[in-house]
Structures are given as C-alpha cells and as structure tokens.
Amino acid sequence: MLHLPLGPVMCDVAGHALDPAERARLTHPLVGGVILFSRNYRDPEQLAALCQDIHALRSPHLLIGVDHEGGRVQRFRTGFTVLPPMRTLGTLWDDHPQRARRLARDAGYVLAAELRAAGVDFSFAPVLDLDYGGSTVIGDRALHRNPQAVSELAHALVLGMQEAGMSAVGKHFPGHGYVAADSHVAVPVDERTLSDLEFADLLPFRQLIDLGLAGVMPAHVVYPRVDSQPAGFSHRWLSEILRGELGFEGVIFSDDLTMEGASVAGDVTARARVALAAGCDMVLVCNRPDLADQVLRHLAWPPTPMSLIRFARMHGRPHPPSRMALLESARYAAALRHIAGLGQTDTQLALDDPTAPLPSGDAGGAERV
C-alpha cells in the first residue's frame, strides 16, 4: 500500500472495477478522492468490492463520494432503498413539522448506513438551496422555500447521516435555487444583493455551519452584485464570506469543473487553479479522464496542512457494519418502517417510465457511460 497524503483532485472511474490506467491515476500525488456514478454500480456486493479496491490503493485511503440525495439524484437504486425527493419532507413539514424532522433523520440514517455498508465515505448531501419554483435543475431536490424549514430538516438529515457514521456536504453555496439556468449547460447569473441572500438563501448554510457541517459545495453561479466570479471561483465568497464571516472550518469541494458554469475560468487546469486559490480544498473533474489527466500533469498545488486535517473528517467512521449486519439491525429496520411509502409512489412511477430522463445533479449532471 502506498503511503501518500491526500491531494486536492477528485476524479472518477469508468466501470464496475478498476483498470490499470485508473489504478495509476488514483495513485498520483494530486488525487485525493473518487466520485462514483450509477455506471459504477451493479449490486451492493460489487460496489463494496470496488470501494475496498480503491481504499486499498493508498494510506490514508482515498475519499469516496457520491451524489446520493434521493429522488432523481440517487446513483445506486437496485439493492438500495429508493428514497423520495427531499421536497417530500418539505411538503410534510407544512402540516406536521415534528414528524417531518423525525422522518428526515430516519431518511438520512438509511441513506448513509447503506452507503457506509458498501464502503462509500460520504454523499454530497443535503441540498440547502431554497425552492423558489423557477429552477428545474434544483426543483424537488430542495427541501422547502422557507429557510428555517430547510435548516431544520437538513439538520435532521445530517444527524441521521452522522448516526450512521457519515459526514455531510451542504450545497450549493450560497444558493442555486433562485436562478432558472442550469449550471451544467449555462453560466447562471443571480442579480440579488448580498443582503438579499443573507436574509434568505444563506440562512441554512449559516445555521448548519454553526452546528458543525463538515463539507460545503459552492455553486457555479455568478452573483455580480457581490463578485464577478462564480461562487466556486470567488475569493470573496469562499475565503472572505464562507470562511471568514460564516466561520466554516470544513472541506470546500468545487462542483464539477467540466460543467459549462465553470467555463468562465479558462481551461480545466486554470479552473482547478482558480478554484483552489479562491479557497476550495478539493476540485472535481468528472466524466472526462483525459481532462483529469491534464490537470494532474499541469497543476502544481500541494495540499495544505489545514486541508489534510479537513479531509480526515470526511472519512467514514471506521468499521461500519456489513450489509448483512445492517439488514439485521433493529435501528435500520425501524428507520425503513418509518419512511416506508414516503413519496414512494411518485418516485416509483418515474423509475418505471422508460421515457424518463436520466438522473441529473452535480458532478457532471446526467452522466455519460
């Protein structure tokens, strides 16, 4: 096993198992993590073997993350609990807030416990964006329009994830829910002032940070009345506001640098350099191994001691229960019983529809296989 500090680049792999080129790429000193997609999943046993293989490459082991929120952004389905869109919890909140909080914690526990049993370290969840009704890329991924509802439901989700041994990553700072444009294919522009954001979109981030949120992913959105750069490339947003004013001490993960919303920062190596200089700890390069190799060839960015400390917090709790032990767990059985039927009908209908679009989310959107 190679003993090597984690680097600032997260990349992906093509299939169900590592090939020799991927093994070489993942042992590059600049690599610190791997993001998985549905193309990397056949069944829980195969996923566990893939994660074990990735973790065995290096010490400390590479971080393994996934976009696994529920609803249309859930990478692993067959053999996993199909979770509803998070909007379902927000709808329940309107009439039964206490029940919604309890179910949010159970949903977070199930989400994280199933991933941890397979060896995945963390999910890029929860979404902290507000639902203004105009964003198709966020849409029902958002918990609610009310920032206090989002804060409380997201906190319950995070508590459930932590109970299962997983840290959380809140996204998309400082808020992607207001703009209609999709940053996978455009450069969204939000014309609101910082004051507008402080009294709305920033509130869930502020509250979750105060409660110890471990990770944040910024948006590829430009807020020109605050800074000319998209938030993920902005020193003003990441170093001055997120780190300085909000006191965030966790990992800042860039969104996927191959997205159109990142194009304003130049070629992929320039994007990585600008994002890291602005305050990101780790940058994502997804669905383009050629671009990942380009970044690894040309980027000169040794990890800082502070980033290494932050990365350690994103490792899943050691020695998670096996899948068999999880299935026999009373806590897991109770959580499944509690969330049974929560939005399941609509989700199942979507899954059964052969014309339904592929799930889209962060890290490259609808993935290419």
Please say if 255 is a catalytic residue: yes
Do 88 and 73 touch, CB atoms closer than 8 A?
Answer: no
Residue 183: CB partners within 8 Å, gap ≥ 6? 137, 176, 219, 220, 221, 230, 255, 259, 260, 261
At residue 9's C-alpha, the angle toward residues 75 and 119, to 5°, is 40
CA distances 310 to 106, 110, 203, Å, are 27, 25, 23
Which of 184, 227, 281, 362 is catalytic? The answer is: 184
Which of 12, 106, 255, 281 is catalytic? The answer is: 255
At residue 138's C-alpha, the angle toward residues 130 and 153, to 5°, is 45
> Rounded distance, CA 276 to CA 270, Å?
10
Query: For the chain, what is the radius of gyration of the CA atoms?
Result: 19
Backbone angles phi, psi at 103, to 5 degrees: -70, -30
Tell me 230's DSSP state.
B
Q: Is 331 helix (H, G, I), strand (E, B) or coil?
A: helix
> Rounded distance, CA 78 to CA 101, Å?
27
Q: What is Dmax (Cα atoms) for the chain?
A: 54
Residue 264: CB partners within 8 Å, gap ≥ 6? 187, 222, 229, 230, 233
Please say if 184 is a catalytic residue: yes
Cis check: omega of the bond before 126, within 30 degrees of 0: yes
> Rounded distance, CA 274 to CA 283, Å?
10
Known catalytic residues? 184, 255
